[in-house]
Amino acid sequence: MHTPLTYGAGFPGRPAKLVEKRLARRTPVRLGRHAAPLNGFTFHAPASLAARVQRRIDQAESEAWMARLWRRDATLWTGNDEGRWLGWLHPGAAPRELGRMAAICRKLCVAGFSDAVLLGMGGASLGAEALAHTLGMGGGGLRLHVLDSTDAAQVRAVQSAVDLTRCLFVVSSKSGSTLESRMLAAYFHEQVARRLGRQEAGTRFVAITDPGSALLAQARDEGYAAVFEGEPSIGGRNSVLSPFGLVALTLLGHDPAAFLRDTRPMLRACGTEAPARANPGLILGALLGEAALDGRDKLTLLAAPGLEHLGCWLEQLLAESTGKNGTGIVPVDHEPPGDPEDYGRDRMFVHLAKSDAPCVELDLRMRRLAEAGFPVLRCELPSARLLGQEFFRWEVATAVAAAVLHVNPFDQPDVEASKVRTRALALRHEAGTGLAEGVPLLVEGALAFHGTESGATAMDLLASHISGLDEAGYVSLLAYIARNEANEAWLAAMRCRLRQATGAATMGGFGPRYLHSIGQLHKGGPAGGRFLFITADVAVDLEAPGHALGFAATQRAQALGDMEELVSRGRPCMRVHIAGPIEAGLAQLAGLLDQAVQAVAVR
């Protein structure tokens, strides 16, 4: 049940500065024997933004946007191939296939495995990761690990965390040709074969891929235990409610049919029969798109405990879908929360909340932000089991926001450019000419600095790089090191210091993971980003059978290739390379960044 979007006392025409709307009451929706509430949504917005959103919803209603979305009308966006990529509108449309998938996964759960390791990148892994961290293990499920990196230390860490003789490997790639997934599958297949023999090794693997892919043929040749085929009309970032998310959900011990039933209330609410002014996906999408056009394009995600990994999934969905043609929504995820005075006018905030586990501290923080005049959106889950509703709500909203911004939400025109440069660097390395890392600007202690900035010291170089930020810009820290708890804490601390010194939004990512998430936006989205790459020595590389380069060399080529591409587009970049122990190098870099931000603050 919905409350229509209408304006009352304190709305446009009155002196009140904020508008608050509650778009959904959590009344149970009956679905046969099953009842699930609709996830809640409220928003606070300045009156000027609320008026823009009202006009956009009026336009969407008069032009039948939602009907056009559901009938796959590409003219809602750019009139190109958008209609080919809307299979995600019908999750669970093939119940027989869903039942087959669930039965196979349940057999795997009782086949003697204790853990499952999912090998995939971007849309092939981020949804599964969100499900694993949000829902945890169900009864009789497997412990799920997601590995989406070519970092040798991270690969070793996952290997040491599992018993390879009792581990199921899930190779996940829509195209079947994703470089990282192929390398990881080759490496772990070899490791298992050394322990159990090559014939037995194949039975410890399953694949999720689209029909006709090279991975499908490989799985059959190597005797994989199962292959789950994706739907070709669903792109990777929209695939979480397809086998690319549901296989992981089922291996965790959850019922995929029940999960999809709990998602249906949001499908109905976002459907064509819902009034435009009460459609959760349309309202959210109009807010996102109009805020971006109004200069509030830094969508800052703040999640209640237990929902943090939903932000990682949202980051890719928003960045890849809207970050192109010089426009887009810049998702700011996992940035440490601040006070209202720490943020610029370019911010809009999303509060991911759980009504069955309220977070008083975060509630108070969001209230202060709203009172300070920032747009604040609240998406509220009655329980974690309704996570599927948020997946669907945000997929619809992102499609609507893309219509507002006049971009194709289903392509990624700038992603391939970095891959081309990476392949060229890899070929140079194979030919024995090295990776062409260039001569550093200077070396100070364990750190070598590469880029185009000028300065007499390392602190000067960093200060010069940071001081170039403008009010509408952002800084992105891109770390080609292992994604572990210590390094994540270091990245968060540096982002906090940079924001407090500059007032700019910060992004952060581990390479090459971020290339499959926010990489499109970095290259094709709004200008104003400044990029700090971090690379490091690797003492011992790991080899992937059938691949000329090992993991460490591949990771370095990916870093250099992405930086090359960004520089070619006029994006300011600096790279800091750590020689020796990473911990010591990061400590030195933290000290230099502290000095640099202090110097910038004085200026």
Task: Average the pLDDT over each of 2-16, 169-183, 212-226, 507-521 and give the range with the smallest value.
Answer: 2-16
Checking if the pLDDT of 32 tops 60, the result is no
Q: Please tell me the distance from the alpha carbon of residue 361 to that of residue 192, in angstroms, as a whole number.
A: 47
> How large is the angle between the packed helices 179-196 and 152-161, nearest 10 degrees?
40
* Contact between 23 and 356 (Cβ < 8 Å): no
Looking at the domain that runs over 413-602, which CATH code has it been given? Answer: 3.40.50.10490
* Contact between 563 and 575 (Cβ < 8 Å): yes
Q: How far apart are the first and last CA of the chain?
A: 54
Angstrom distances, CA of residue 463 to CA of 440, 455, 466, 494, 577: 17, 9, 5, 14, 17
Average pLDDT, the chain: 92
Cis peptide before 37 (omega within 30 of 0): no
Task: Average the pLDDT over each of 206-210, 420-424, 559-563 and give the range with the smallest value.
Answer: 420-424
Q: How confident is the model at residue 2 (pLDDT cuts 50, 70, 90)?
A: very low
**435 class by beta-carbon count within 10 Å (0-12 exposed, 13-18 middle, 19+ buried):** middle
| Percent of the residues in the chain that have a pLDDT greater than 90, as a whole number | 87
Q: What is the CA radius of gyration of the chain?
A: 24
Q: Which residues of 169-182 are buried (b: 16+ CB within 10 A; e: fewer)?
A: bbbbbbebebbbbb
Per-domain residue ranges of the chain:
40-76+275-405, 89-260, 413-602
Q: What is the pLDDT of residue 23?
A: 47
| Mean pLDDT within 123-136 | 98
Q: How confident is the model at residue 603 (pLDDT cuts 50, 70, 90)?
A: low
Q: What is the pLDDT of residue 430?
A: 76
Checking if the pLDDT of 224 tops 60, the result is yes
Q: Please tell me the distance from the alpha carbon of residue 318 to that of residue 399, in angstroms, as a whole number.
A: 9
Q: What is the pLDDT of residue 471?
A: 77
Q: Under the phi-then-psi rule, with left for phi > 0, alpha for psi from -120 to 50, and beta for the rest, what region is 540?
A: beta
Per-residue pLDDT tens for 252-298?
999 999 999 999 999 999 999 999 999 999 999 999 999 999 999 99
Checking if the pLDDT of 301 tops 60, the result is yes
Q: Please tell me the distance from the alpha carbon of residue 513 to that of residue 175, in angstroms, as a whole number.
A: 17
Looking at the domain that runs over 89-260, which CATH code has it been given? Answer: 3.40.50.10490
Per-residue pLDDT tens for 199-216?
999 999 999 999 999 999
Q: Please tell me if the domain spanning 40-76+275-405 has the same topology as the one spanning 89-260.
A: yes
Partnered with residue 228 across adjacent β-strands are: 208
In 3D space, the residue among 533, 543, 599 whose CA is nearest the CA of residue 565 turns out to be 533
* Contact between 243 and 101 (Cβ < 8 Å): yes
State the architecture of 40-76+275-405 in CATH terms: 3-Layer(aba) Sandwich (3.40)
Task: Average the pLDDT over each of 9-18, 390-399, 468-477, 578-587 and give the range with the smallest value.
Answer: 9-18
Q: What is the pLDDT of residue 3?
A: 31
Per-residue pLDDT tens for 431-466?
777 666 889 999 999 999 999 998 999 999 999 999
Question: Within 10 A of 545 (CB to CB), how many other CB atoms are there?
Answer: 11
> CB-hemisphere CA count at 13 Å for 483?
15
Reading the block at residue 4, the tokens are: 């229509």
Q: How confident is the model at residue 92 (pLDDT cuts 50, 70, 90)?
A: confident
